[in-house]
Structure 1
Amino acid sequence: MLQRTFPIAVAAVLGLGSVAVARDTSAATGSICIATVEDDGLQRGHYSEKFAVRIDGDAWTGVPFGRQPPTWIGDIPAQGKHLVSIRDGEKRIESFRFSFDDYGSTALCLWYKQWYGSWSLSPADQYPTFCRCLPRS
Protein backbone atom coordinates (compact mmCIF):
# COMPACT_ATOMS: atom_id res chain seq x y z
CA MET A 1 0.00 0.00 0.00
CA LEU A 2 2.84 2.40 0.82
CA GLN A 3 4.42 1.87 -2.59
CA ARG A 4 1.21 2.88 -4.40
CA THR A 5 0.51 6.02 -2.36
CA PHE A 6 4.08 7.34 -2.05
CA PRO A 7 4.41 8.71 -5.64
CA ILE A 8 1.00 10.41 -5.35
CA ALA A 9 2.01 12.06 -2.06
CA VAL A 10 5.32 13.28 -3.55
CA ALA A 11 3.53 14.69 -6.61
CA ALA A 12 1.03 16.53 -4.39
CA VAL A 13 3.74 18.01 -2.12
CA LEU A 14 5.91 19.15 -5.04
CA GLY A 15 2.95 20.57 -6.93
CA LEU A 16 3.63 18.41 -9.97
CA GLY A 17 -0.02 18.25 -10.92
CA SER A 18 -3.35 17.41 -9.50
CA VAL A 19 -4.15 13.87 -8.64
CA ALA A 20 -7.71 12.60 -8.43
CA VAL A 21 -8.60 9.29 -6.91
CA ALA A 22 -11.99 7.95 -7.84
CA ARG A 23 -13.62 4.66 -7.03
CA ASP A 24 -15.45 3.09 -9.96
CA THR A 25 -18.81 1.82 -8.70
CA SER A 26 -20.47 1.63 -12.11
CA ALA A 27 -19.80 -2.11 -12.33
CA ALA A 28 -21.39 -2.86 -8.93
CA THR A 29 -24.61 -4.83 -9.31
CA GLY A 30 -27.20 -6.38 -7.07
CA SER A 31 -29.74 -9.16 -7.37
CA ILE A 32 -33.22 -10.02 -6.19
CA CYS A 33 -34.38 -13.50 -5.36
CA ILE A 34 -38.05 -14.06 -6.10
CA ALA A 35 -39.14 -16.49 -3.41
CA THR A 36 -41.48 -19.35 -4.20
CA VAL A 37 -45.12 -18.70 -3.34
CA GLU A 38 -46.13 -21.68 -1.24
CA ASP A 39 -49.29 -23.51 -2.21
CA ASP A 40 -50.27 -24.48 1.32
CA GLY A 41 -54.01 -23.96 1.11
CA LEU A 42 -53.93 -20.69 3.06
CA GLN A 43 -56.93 -18.76 1.75
CA ARG A 44 -56.51 -15.40 3.54
CA GLY A 45 -54.47 -13.72 0.83
CA HIS A 46 -54.95 -13.86 -2.90
CA TYR A 47 -52.17 -15.71 -4.66
CA SER A 48 -51.94 -16.94 -8.16
CA GLU A 49 -49.81 -19.09 -10.43
CA LYS A 50 -49.90 -16.13 -12.84
CA PHE A 51 -47.86 -13.74 -10.67
CA ALA A 52 -44.99 -12.09 -12.57
CA VAL A 53 -42.37 -9.51 -11.60
CA ARG A 54 -40.24 -7.04 -13.51
CA ILE A 55 -37.56 -4.60 -12.47
CA ASP A 56 -37.17 -1.21 -14.20
CA GLY A 57 -39.26 -2.22 -17.21
CA ASP A 58 -37.21 -5.31 -18.13
CA ALA A 59 -38.88 -8.54 -19.24
CA TRP A 60 -41.48 -10.10 -16.96
CA THR A 61 -40.22 -13.01 -14.83
CA GLY A 62 -42.69 -15.61 -13.60
CA VAL A 63 -42.97 -16.06 -9.84
CA PRO A 64 -42.12 -19.62 -8.75
CA PHE A 65 -45.14 -21.42 -7.30
CA GLY A 66 -45.62 -24.56 -5.22
CA ARG A 67 -42.54 -26.78 -5.49
CA GLN A 68 -40.61 -24.66 -7.99
CA PRO A 69 -37.23 -23.31 -6.81
CA PRO A 70 -36.74 -19.57 -6.21
CA THR A 71 -35.67 -17.43 -9.16
CA TRP A 72 -32.86 -14.87 -9.10
CA ILE A 73 -32.89 -11.66 -11.16
CA GLY A 74 -29.34 -10.31 -11.38
CA ASP A 75 -27.22 -7.57 -12.89
CA ILE A 76 -29.33 -4.79 -11.39
CA PRO A 77 -27.22 -1.62 -10.91
CA ALA A 78 -26.45 -1.30 -7.19
CA GLN A 79 -26.75 2.49 -7.32
CA GLY A 80 -29.97 4.47 -7.61
CA LYS A 81 -33.67 3.77 -7.30
CA HIS A 82 -35.43 0.91 -9.09
CA LEU A 83 -39.07 0.17 -9.87
CA VAL A 84 -40.55 -3.23 -9.02
CA SER A 85 -43.82 -4.07 -10.80
CA ILE A 86 -45.92 -7.11 -9.97
CA ARG A 87 -48.83 -8.40 -11.99
CA ASP A 88 -51.38 -11.18 -11.78
CA GLY A 89 -52.02 -12.30 -15.33
CA GLU A 90 -52.29 -9.04 -17.29
CA LYS A 91 -53.37 -6.88 -14.33
CA ARG A 92 -50.73 -4.86 -12.44
CA ILE A 93 -51.44 -5.39 -8.76
CA GLU A 94 -48.53 -3.67 -7.03
CA SER A 95 -45.49 -1.52 -7.73
CA PHE A 96 -42.93 0.25 -5.57
CA ARG A 97 -39.48 1.82 -5.73
CA PHE A 98 -36.43 0.67 -3.79
CA SER A 99 -32.68 1.10 -3.62
CA PHE A 100 -30.17 -1.47 -2.44
CA ASP A 101 -28.80 1.19 -0.06
CA ASP A 102 -32.19 1.25 1.71
CA TYR A 103 -31.59 -2.37 2.77
CA GLY A 104 -27.82 -2.33 3.25
CA SER A 105 -27.44 -5.33 0.95
CA THR A 106 -27.06 -6.11 -2.75
CA ALA A 107 -28.81 -9.47 -2.36
CA LEU A 108 -32.52 -8.94 -1.69
CA CYS A 109 -35.53 -11.21 -1.53
CA LEU A 110 -38.99 -10.43 -2.86
CA TRP A 111 -41.56 -12.57 -1.09
CA TYR A 112 -45.33 -12.82 -0.88
CA LYS A 113 -47.04 -12.42 2.49
CA GLN A 114 -50.06 -14.68 2.16
CA TRP A 115 -51.70 -13.49 5.37
CA TYR A 116 -51.89 -9.89 4.08
CA GLY A 117 -51.89 -10.61 0.35
CA SER A 118 -48.95 -8.25 -0.22
CA TRP A 119 -45.31 -8.35 -1.27
CA SER A 120 -42.21 -7.53 0.79
CA LEU A 121 -38.60 -6.86 -0.05
CA SER A 122 -35.88 -7.67 2.49
CA PRO A 123 -32.23 -8.72 2.62
CA ALA A 124 -32.08 -12.27 1.26
CA ASP A 125 -30.71 -13.70 4.50
CA GLN A 126 -32.99 -11.81 6.92
CA TYR A 127 -36.15 -13.95 6.81
CA PRO A 128 -35.13 -17.45 5.73
CA THR A 129 -38.48 -18.86 6.92
CA PHE A 130 -40.41 -16.71 4.44
CA CYS A 131 -37.80 -16.13 1.80
CA ARG A 132 -36.17 -19.55 1.38
CA CYS A 133 -33.71 -18.21 -1.18
CA LEU A 134 -30.63 -20.32 -1.48
CA PRO A 135 -27.30 -18.57 -2.04
CA ARG A 136 -26.54 -18.01 -5.71
CA SER A 137 -24.04 -20.47 -7.10
Structure 2
Amino acid sequence: MQLAPVRTEERIAGFRADLVGSLKGHELIIEVKVTHGCPANKIRAYRDLNMSVLEIDLAPFRYATADDLREAVLKRATRYWLCLSGGRDVPRQPAPTKPGGIDQQRKLSGFARPKNISQREWAEMSTLEKVTAVDPDGRLTIKSRGYRS
Protein backbone atom coordinates (compact mmCIF):
# COMPACT_ATOMS: atom_id res chain seq x y z
CA MET A 1 0.00 0.00 0.00
CA GLN A 2 1.14 3.50 -0.74
CA LEU A 3 -0.09 6.98 -0.05
CA ALA A 4 -1.45 8.21 -3.33
CA PRO A 5 -1.57 10.74 -4.72
CA VAL A 6 0.91 12.65 -2.57
CA ARG A 7 0.68 16.41 -2.78
CA THR A 8 3.29 18.83 -1.45
CA GLU A 9 2.98 22.22 0.21
CA GLU A 10 -0.83 22.15 0.19
CA ARG A 11 -2.68 24.86 2.12
CA ILE A 12 -5.02 23.45 4.75
CA ALA A 13 -6.79 25.54 7.40
CA GLY A 14 -4.55 28.50 6.63
CA PHE A 15 -1.34 26.48 7.08
CA ARG A 16 0.99 24.83 4.60
CA ALA A 17 1.17 21.05 5.04
CA ASP A 18 4.46 19.49 3.97
CA LEU A 19 2.82 16.41 2.40
CA VAL A 20 -0.76 15.25 2.02
CA GLY A 21 -1.64 11.78 0.83
CA SER A 22 -4.59 9.46 0.70
CA LEU A 23 -4.66 5.90 2.05
CA LYS A 24 -7.77 3.73 1.86
CA GLY A 25 -9.90 6.81 1.23
CA HIS A 26 -8.59 8.76 4.23
CA GLU A 27 -6.34 11.78 3.98
CA LEU A 28 -3.11 11.87 5.98
CA ILE A 29 -0.97 14.94 6.54
CA ILE A 30 2.76 14.33 6.97
CA GLU A 31 4.83 17.07 8.56
CA VAL A 32 8.60 16.87 8.21
CA LYS A 33 10.63 18.05 11.20
CA VAL A 34 14.11 19.31 10.40
CA THR A 35 14.76 22.44 12.47
CA HIS A 36 11.57 22.63 14.55
CA GLY A 37 8.42 20.62 15.18
CA CYS A 38 4.91 21.42 14.11
CA PRO A 39 3.52 24.36 16.16
CA ALA A 40 0.59 23.77 18.52
CA ASN A 41 -1.76 26.15 16.66
CA LYS A 42 -1.20 24.24 13.41
CA ILE A 43 -1.92 20.92 15.15
CA ARG A 44 -5.12 22.38 16.68
CA ALA A 45 -6.27 23.57 13.25
CA TYR A 46 -5.72 20.10 11.76
CA ARG A 47 -7.46 18.47 14.73
CA ASP A 48 -10.44 20.79 14.27
CA LEU A 49 -10.69 19.51 10.68
CA ASN A 50 -10.57 15.90 11.95
CA MET A 51 -7.31 15.17 10.11
CA SER A 52 -4.64 12.62 11.02
CA VAL A 53 -1.15 14.12 11.16
CA LEU A 54 2.13 12.22 11.32
CA GLU A 55 5.44 13.99 11.94
CA ILE A 56 8.68 12.48 10.63
CA ASP A 57 11.80 13.70 12.46
CA LEU A 58 14.57 14.18 9.90
CA ALA A 59 16.73 16.47 12.07
CA PRO A 60 19.35 13.74 12.66
CA PHE A 61 19.58 13.22 8.90
CA ARG A 62 20.00 16.86 7.89
CA TYR A 63 23.35 16.28 6.18
CA ALA A 64 22.62 12.78 4.86
CA THR A 65 23.15 11.72 1.27
CA ALA A 66 20.09 11.38 -0.96
CA ASP A 67 20.11 7.58 -0.52
CA ASP A 68 20.46 7.82 3.27
CA LEU A 69 17.70 10.42 3.41
CA ARG A 70 15.38 8.16 1.39
CA GLU A 71 16.17 5.29 3.80
CA ALA A 72 15.46 7.58 6.76
CA VAL A 73 12.10 8.74 5.40
CA LEU A 74 10.96 5.22 4.58
CA LYS A 75 12.39 3.24 7.51
CA ARG A 76 14.71 4.80 10.08
CA ALA A 77 13.43 8.24 11.09
CA THR A 78 11.39 8.58 14.26
CA ARG A 79 7.69 9.20 13.65
CA TYR A 80 5.11 10.78 15.96
CA TRP A 81 1.34 11.01 15.64
CA LEU A 82 0.41 14.65 16.26
CA CYS A 83 -3.33 14.09 15.95
CA LEU A 84 -5.63 11.33 14.75
CA SER A 85 -8.95 11.61 12.97
CA GLY A 86 -12.10 10.29 14.56
CA GLY A 87 -11.32 11.84 17.94
CA ARG A 88 -8.88 9.03 18.79
CA ASP A 89 -6.28 9.66 21.46
CA VAL A 90 -2.77 10.35 20.23
CA PRO A 91 -0.31 7.66 21.37
CA ARG A 92 2.24 8.85 23.94
CA GLN A 93 5.52 10.04 22.50
CA PRO A 94 8.35 7.49 22.67
CA ALA A 95 11.57 8.05 24.52
CA PRO A 96 14.14 9.73 22.26
CA THR A 97 16.20 7.24 20.28
CA LYS A 98 19.43 7.59 18.41
CA PRO A 99 19.36 7.38 14.60
CA GLY A 100 20.18 3.91 13.41
CA GLY A 101 18.95 2.35 16.66
CA ILE A 102 17.07 -0.92 16.91
CA ASP A 103 15.53 -1.88 13.61
CA GLN A 104 11.80 -1.13 13.50
CA GLN A 105 11.09 -4.39 11.69
CA ARG A 106 12.61 -6.32 14.59
CA LYS A 107 10.54 -4.29 17.06
CA LEU A 108 7.38 -5.27 15.21
CA SER A 109 8.32 -8.94 15.11
CA GLY A 110 6.49 -9.57 18.40
CA PHE A 111 3.16 -8.81 16.77
CA ALA A 112 1.29 -11.47 14.87
CA ARG A 113 0.67 -11.00 11.18
CA PRO A 114 -3.08 -10.60 10.57
CA LYS A 115 -4.51 -13.75 8.99
CA ASN A 116 -5.86 -11.83 5.99
CA ILE A 117 -2.33 -10.75 4.97
CA SER A 118 -0.02 -13.25 3.26
CA GLN A 119 3.52 -13.87 4.51
CA ARG A 120 4.95 -12.39 1.29
CA GLU A 121 2.76 -9.28 1.49
CA TRP A 122 3.70 -8.83 5.19
CA ALA A 123 7.40 -8.98 4.32
CA GLU A 124 6.95 -6.27 1.67
CA MET A 125 4.93 -3.90 3.86
CA SER A 126 6.46 -0.75 5.37
CA THR A 127 6.50 -0.30 9.14
CA LEU A 128 3.63 2.19 9.02
CA GLU A 129 1.54 -0.22 6.93
CA LYS A 130 2.24 -3.03 9.44
CA VAL A 131 1.25 -0.81 12.37
CA THR A 132 -1.97 0.11 10.57
CA ALA A 133 -2.67 -3.54 9.72
CA VAL A 134 -2.04 -4.81 13.25
CA ASP A 135 -3.73 -1.91 15.02
CA PRO A 136 -6.04 0.02 12.67
CA ASP A 137 -7.85 1.81 15.51
CA GLY A 138 -4.73 2.70 17.53
CA ARG A 139 -5.90 0.70 20.55
CA LEU A 140 -3.00 -1.68 21.07
CA THR A 141 0.41 -0.85 22.44
CA ILE A 142 2.69 -0.89 19.43
CA LYS A 143 6.30 -1.23 20.48
CA SER A 144 7.67 0.36 17.36
CA ARG A 145 9.53 3.65 17.56
CA GLY A 146 6.92 6.40 17.36
CA TYR A 147 3.86 4.17 17.74
CA ARG A 148 3.22 3.53 21.41
CA SER A 149 0.07 4.21 23.33
Q: Do they fold alike, i.e. is TM over 0.5? A: no
Q: Which TM-score applies when normalising by structure 1?
A: 0.24
Q: Could you say which structure has the higher strand fraction? A: 1
Q: Which TM-score applies when normalising by structure 2?
A: 0.23
Q: Which has the higher contact order (CA 8 A, sep 6+)?
A: 1
